[in-house]
Every structure is written in C-alpha cells, then in structure tokens.
Structure 1
C-alpha cells in the first residue's frame, strides 16, 4: 500500500468493530467492506452530515466475510457481500435484515435493469441495494507475454488455463486470486460447461484443469495483493476482478512505472457480479445502517466511489459526476456486447459447495 493511500485510509482502518463498545449515547455504524473499496471522503461526509461515527473494517475474500458472519454476533451493521453466492446464501439463511425502503429515500436511484439481474439472488430485492458491480477476467502485460509466447491468445483464458501457454509465460509471472467461489465458475465456463454445474464429473474436470497449470502459477493470493503487485510489475497475467486491474493501472501511472497493463474480458464471456449493501439480521444499529445505505445511494456519493475505486455503480444519475476518462473507460463500464456475453452464477448446493472447496484446497496445495 503506497503512502498516499495509507494516509487516506488511516481514519478508516480501525480495530474490529465487533470488539469495540461505543460510549453511552454515541451513534455508530459498523461497516465491513472489501479492501480498497470506498471513497474516504464519503465516510468523512457521512459523519459530518449525520453525526454518526463510522467504524470501518475490511475483508479480502468472500470466504473471510462468510466465516465472520457464520459465527453470529459479528457486530457489523452494514456488510458488502457479492450477490452470488454469499449474499444469496445469507438471505436464504435468514442472516440478513429485510430493508425498510421507507428509510431509504434514495432507493429509486438504482438502475431497474440491474436490480432485475440481482432479483434472481434476492427475490423482490428485499435484502440489499447494489453498491458496485463488475466482471472477472484477466489483467495482462501484452509486451512481456509476447516476448515469451508470441502466438499466445490475449483475449481468452487459454492464455492462463492451457498448460502449454502457462508454461511459456510462467517466467513473467502468473497469479490467480484466492477465491474458489469466483474462479471455479470461470474455469467451468472455459471448459464449455455450465458455470453453475454441480455435476461431480464437471468438478473433476475443473480440478484437472487447475492442477495442470499449478506448477506454472507463481501466486494464489488475495485480490488486494494482486492489485498492488500488478501495479509494481510483478506479474504479466492474472485472473481477478476487473476493478483490481483498473486500480493497478492507475497506481502504476502515478508511480511512473511502465505502461502496458490492460484488462481483458475473456471472449467466451466473463462472470458478471454485483456487490450488495446489506444489513445483518443481528445488526446492533439498524437505524444507522439504513441511513448509511441511503447516503451511499446518492448520485454524487456513488460517483465519488467509482472515481476512487474504478468500479461501475448502479446509479445512472451518477454518470454526470464521474470523471470523463473514468466514465468512458470500457474496462470500468463495459460495452453492451461484452455484457451480453457475460454470465451470472448462482449459489451451489451444500454438496457442490463442499466439492468446490475440496477442488480449491487441492489446487492451492498443488496435489
């Protein structure tokens, strides 16, 4: 983390919200969000306008988030799970509080078409508002790849998932984000299978594909770590979230490092995901949570978040406040044809979830 970002985030990175007890009468909202996924000014402005203090913790994987919530009494008021599988699973389990839209006047600012997409995970959109969205694809440095494998495809997961290609570019560094929840559906899609398949044979095929490239993968790390490493030029090919790559591009330019880093949505189609603003069922401060969600849905606030983290939001009126170079970047707001090729996953059943967990553990261990 560079010094500027560290200084910006210092007021936000506090001790665990669950471990702190507010002074009597103090209004507090405890937020649990992804790493590097907020506009610091939004936090400061919310506190100034409402008098509600924000305690802000971060996580770097859906597995971490679900582990914290599954234990119960997390102490958080607002969490940001991805629509599938985590948000859908938490909603079905009764772990989320239905939102009171009378306390969220800005609810109507959201794009109805995007809300309809999320309704498959949350019928009636009862438990969450859309925070940000994006795709899963590749961050690549084409010049380094071409130097090692001139004929390797740059627009397909063949680049990483075909062992013959992975072997050739291993010297310049391959990394995959440490999230089987997100990676395995993309592998299944690449194999020509249903990304939501629970079939044992399909799980085995995904495992074989991953184990075949494991000797050539330098790192399986959090998406936040991938972002920093990409910006520093440590890898030439990664599989991660779209915004991680766009953030890395910005950091590399600010540091005066080499250009050439680009984000690629696989031509077979990228996984489309939505991160949701939700309230745990046992949230200690639900009123403050509703106020925070309503504040975040303001067009100018969501624009600030998109400008900061380079992920698109679901508030169309925010576009007029987004910097032109960000709004025009197809890696931030993908063109319609790219969205048309994308796919959405659903939460696997318990047996399939355990099978995928075993696949991911073996992939990480390399056996």
Structure 2
C-alpha cells in the first residue's frame, strides 16, 4: 500500500498569513506535519534565508489531523495528510486551491507520482506531493532468529499468520495505528483487491485481524521507530519514510 503525503494550503490560515505585518521578522507560517519528516535544521535554514518564522507542530495519525481540520480554525497554513484522507478533506472544503504561478518548482515534480495523486486531487489543484513510500515490516534480526529460527523475513505471512505471529508475541510486536494502511495489506494477503469497498471483503479482513490481535503489543504510528531501534520489540509494521 503506497503512502503519499502532500503539502497543502489551509484556507483560513492561508488568509491569516497574508494579513500579518510587513516586516519579515513578523511573518510566520504555521505547519502541521508528520513526526520525523523534517529535520529542525531545515526549518532554521528556511528562517535564515527568508526571514519567515515557522511554527512547527507534529502529529502521528491522519485521524488526529482530520479532527483538527474539520473542527475549523486550526490556524495552520500547511498540512500533510495522506492521499485517501486528502480526497475527503477537499470535498469538505477545508483547503484553498494552490496559486501555481507562485510555485515555479512544480515543473520539477515527477509526473508518474503526480498522475497517481491526481486520483485523490483531480488536476492536483489543492496539493503537491511531498513524500511517498510503502508500508512494510521492520524486525530485530537476533530476536527473530531466536523466535522463528530464521533471520530473514520476506513475506507478510509472518504477520498475518497467527501461528507465526504468536511466536513473536513475547519479544514484542508494534503496528501502525492506521487502518487505511493496514487493511489494504490484509486484503492483499487474502487475495482481495486492496481498494475493495465490499462489506464481505471487510468482514474477511476483520476476521483475519481478530485472529492476530492477541499477539500485538501496541498500535502506534511513531513509537515503533525507537522501540525497534532500542531492542524493545522484535517486529514492527511501519512506514518506509
């Protein structure tokens, strides 16, 4: 399942940005982005180069972002939702169309990705692709070797097969708190179209997830990074970027 993120202009905050004072040191752009997406040094360099301050907040789930956006008055100028969430947020009218005349680097966008993102934002009128990646499995080689007798994982079967995942329960399994990323992989594992809308297909995926649920220690969309690096868990379902 491909995970795509976008830079967007939020209508209300966009207008606020342009009503600020004329002095560069008084200008501020408010950004709401995924954790670990931008190094703090980049923000510092941006301010040095432009004189524009950046208020930078982070989130770790699309649901949290969407709740703030749909409540109104979020105060953010730039936000970074994932593709399928982007589509319904556009329909809800929370974004302002981009003025592409002020974005000359759009000409450098990869057309292959732009064509795919247009599925969620026809004409890419509200968004620019910022990052894309995949959902995959990360694991502690030593602990997996001890639990499974192999130091190589190359299949989703180790996660969706209850008998195999049960062997990893004690060393710890973390999973993304993101149904829109986990379910398509469950569908694919079951031989079902990842973009299915069939209730019967969702019921099959639910049955599969309930079988492996007892062996999952935690659902979280950012803690798995440090947990895996520190050796606190042996398997993580996470994003590639």
Q: What residue in structure 1 maps to residue 187 of structure 2?
A: 188
Note the 1:15-26 alignment, pairs <5 A. Answer: 25=21, 26=26
Q: Is the 8 A contact 1:140 1:236 kept in 2?
A: yes
- The alpha-carbon deviation at position 155 of structure 1 amounts to 1.1
Pairwise mapping of residues 252-267 of structure 1 onto structure 2 (< 5 A)? none
Cα drift, residue 39 of structure 1: 2.3
Aligned to 1:147: 146
Matches within 5 A, 1:191-340: 191-221=190-220, 223-243=221-241
Who is 2:5 aligned against? none
CA RMSD of aligned residues (A): 2.0
Q: What is the CA distance between 1:71 and its match in structure 2?
A: 0.3
Gaps of 5+ in 1: 1-17, 244-367
State the Cα deviation string for residues 222-277 of structure 1 (Å, max 9, x = none): x221111111111111111013xxxxxxxxxxxxxxxxxxxxxxxxxxxxxxxxxx
For 1:203 and 1:24, the matched residues in 2 are separated by 48
Give the alignment's TM-score, normalised by structure 2. 0.86
1:152 and 1:159 in contact (8 A); partners too = no
Structure 1, residues 181-224: CA drift from partner, whole Å, max 9, x if none?
21111111111111121211111111111111111111112x22
1:16-40 residue CA offsets vs partner (Å, 9 max, x unmatched): xx9xx99962211110001121022
Provide the C-alpha distance between the structure 2 equivalents of 1:226 and 1:169, rounded to a whole number of angstroms.
15
Taking the aligned partners of 2:125 and 2:20, their CA distance within structure 1 comes to 32
**Counterpart position of 2:50:** 50
Distance in 2, matches of 1:57 and 1:168, equals 38
Separation (CA, whole Å) in 1 of partners of 2:110 and 2:47: 27
Query: Do 1:153 and 1:159's aligned partners in 2 also have CA atoms closer than 8 Å?
Result: no
1:64 and 2:64 correspond: yes
Distance 2:174 2:222 in 1: 12
| In structure 2, C-alpha distance between the alignment counterparts of 1:54 and 1:27, rounded to whole Å | 9
3-state DSSP of counterpart to 1:56: strand
Shift of 1:151: 6.0
TM-score when scaled to structure 1? 0.57
Q: Partners of 2:37 and 2:126 in 1: how far apart?
A: 21
CA contact (8 A) 1:160 1:174 kept: no
- Residue 37 (structure 2) aligns with: 37
Q: Which residue number corresponds to residue 258 of structure 1?
A: none
CA distance in 1, matches of 2:88, 2:152: 36
Contact 2:142 2:151 in 1 (8 A): no
Q: Report the Cα distance in structure 1 between the residues aligned to 2:104 and 2:196, rounded to whole angstroms.
A: 39
The 2-side partners of 1:152 and 1:105 are apart by 48
Deviation at 1:143, TM superposition (A): 2.8
Distance in 2 between residues matched to 1:98 and 1:62, nearest whole Å: 21
1:152 offset after TM fit, Å?
Answer: 9.2
When you count strand as a share of all residues, which structure comes out higher? 2
Q: How many residues align?
A: 222
